[in-house]
Amino acid sequence: MSPLASEETSEFSFLAGQARALHVEVPPVRRVSLPLPDGRTLSALRYGDDPVEVTLLHGAGLNAHTWDTTVLALGRPALSIDLAGHGDSSWREDADYTGRTLAADVIEALRIWTDRPQVLVGQSLGGLTAAAVAAHAPELVRDLIVVDITPGVDQSVGPAALREFYRVVDGASRDELVDRAQQFGFGGSRDDTARGVFLNTRVRPDGRVEWKHHFAHIAARLLTAAPSDVASPAATTGILGEHGWSDLGAAAAPIALVRASHGFVSEDAEAEFRTRVPSAQVLHLDGSHNLQETAPTALAEIIRTAVDARP
């Protein structure tokens, strides 16, 4: 029976099936939370009992569980953080979900939850956040792996496909949202996408199902606002992009960019990345933007190589 068919489905109900598919064991896993100085709470998943070696940051509109399959394939202690406004972490009243702002929470969490420099992996918005962490708290980051994002990608409200996806923030059922996610190439198999949708939605009092992360609702509002009501996308993109390039340039840790074959990083964006961060490694994987879901085993191998490269 699918976990979705059970009335006792929990956030960990899917792990056993994912582990069986990979022929691995399910590690100990628990949810942890951290009260922040401003009254918000940061939430995360802690995999394994040994000291954490890898910390994972998801993209906009996702949550910590997006990394489940990658972590199972990796087989190492890991921490997967719900960025502010996502998953079980508090929404921000100022709706500021830029990488540098999100990085402050991650830095606080790494100082509490880890005892050694991390292989810090960030996908999409999480990649820009990870770059800011590496730049502003270099003692916490051993290696930086940025997955399918560069500061050259439009950051005003996301790449074109993501902008269109967020025009619809609710549906009559989870199946309807699964159909839409697959239409836009987000997620892997239908079962994988259904799992992601279950973990990333809630049922409203009126019976409709909506994305539970703040980002979707903000993006939808921006997309339907009159042009005069929002900042110039070109100006916003320029500011955030330069922050991202500055953070990558300031990072002391070795950097790798993992580009998806069907993702958001174009050839021009990769070329700009190579020019601006010449010391970085650039790797290619076959998959869509959410490589942690569409190519988890291959991505896990890249992470494992970084973990094993140095003591």
Selection from 174, 150, 156 nearest residue 97 by Cα = 156
Q: How many angstroms separate the CA atoms of 11 and 14, rounded? A: 7
Q: Do 150 and 269 touch, CB atoms closer than 8 A? A: yes
Q: Give catalytic status of residue 148 as yes or no.
A: yes
* Paired strand residues for 284: 259
| Catalytically annotated residue among 65, 214, 243, 289 | 289
Secondary structure element (H or E) that encloses residue 244, with its range:
helix 233-250
Residues 6+ apart with CB under 8 A from 4: 174, 194, 195, 198
- Using alpha carbons, list the distances in angstroms from residue 116 to 52, 85, 140, 189, 290: 8, 27, 7, 36, 27
Q: How many angstroms separate the CA atoms of 80 and 58, rounded? A: 8
Q: Give catalytic status of residue 124 as yes or no.
A: yes
| Catalytically annotated residue among 43, 90, 124, 288 | 124
Residue 58 has a CB neighbour count (10 Å cut-off) of 29
Q: Give catalytic status of residue 10 as yes or no.
A: no
Q: How many angstroms separate the CA atoms of 267 and 198, rounded? A: 34
CA angle 263/91/49 to nearest 5° reads: 75
| Catalytically annotated residue among 68, 148, 154, 247 | 148
Enzyme catalytic residues: 124, 148, 289
